Amino acid sequence: MQSFLTTISKLIEEKDLPALMIGGHAVTALGHPRATFDLDLLIPRSSAGRWQAELLKLHYRTFAESANFHQFEAPPGLPLPPLDLMLVDDGVFQTLELTKTDLKPIATPGVVAMIALKLHAIRQPARDDIEKDWSDVLALIKAHHLSLDDPDFSATILKHGGETAVQRIQASLAGGN
């Protein structure tokens, strides 16, 4: 997988393609190792066409496409993992990019921004497996010693997860689930 991440990192650099790694690989890079196979990238919507053209050159093909997600898979026989692009408005991308880490080979949003993205995903009605997202959120909070006593962090949780998220985090930090 590392060589694949390096290939995508070189693509980002050489073709000047904006991207932040999100999903399982980002959560692992931010301190909570977990199994994952696909690669999830957050990109500005305006770069989607350029990304698609470059991925097609790597022999990827579009598996599914919606307004906010483009999913790619490799043809049978090529040992490449699935790759998902999450499209966001350019302003949102720029805001998240300001928080980015210097993690290699692909930068991630900062940990608080990553938690905000996870909380946003949890609140989506069609979201599958929100318990995995919650596990990521809680593990990142613990790994980075974040506290709801921090007004900025607490405001982020409330904004992106609502009061239910605040209560679940409080319970987890107090020793519950």
Predicted local distance difference test score (pLDDT) of residue 2 = 58
Q: Are residues 58 and 4 in the same domain?
A: yes
Q: Within this chain, do residues 51 and 124 fall inside the same structural domain, yes or no? A: no
Which domain CATH number covers 79?
Answer: 3.30.460.40
What band does 4 get if pLDDT is binned at 50, 70 and 90? confident
Per-chain mean pLDDT for the chain: 93
Rg (Cα) of the chain, in Å, rounded? 17
User: What are the tens digits of pLDDT across the range 133-142?
Assistant: 999 999 999 9
Q: Which token pair is 54?
A: 């470059």
Give the chain's domain count.
2
pTM: 0.92
SS3 35: coil
Same domain membership, residue 96 and residue 39: yes
DSSP letters for 48-114: HHHHHHHHHHTT-EEEEE-SSEEEEEPPTT-----EEEEEE-HHHHHHHHTT----SSS----HHHH
Last residue of a domain, one of 109, 143, 166: 109
Contact between 165 and 158 (Cβ < 8 Å): yes
Task: Examine the pLDDT at 177 and tell me if it is beyond 60.
Answer: no
Q: Are residues 40 and 66 in the same domain?
A: yes
Q: Where among 109, 143, 158 does a domain terminate? A: 109
On whether the CB atoms of residues 26 and 108 are closer than 8 A, the answer is: yes
Give the range of the structural domain holding residue 36, as residue numbers without chain letter. Answer: 1-109
Cα 130 from Cα 115, distance rounded (Å) = 13
Answer yes or no: do 94 and 154 share one domain: no
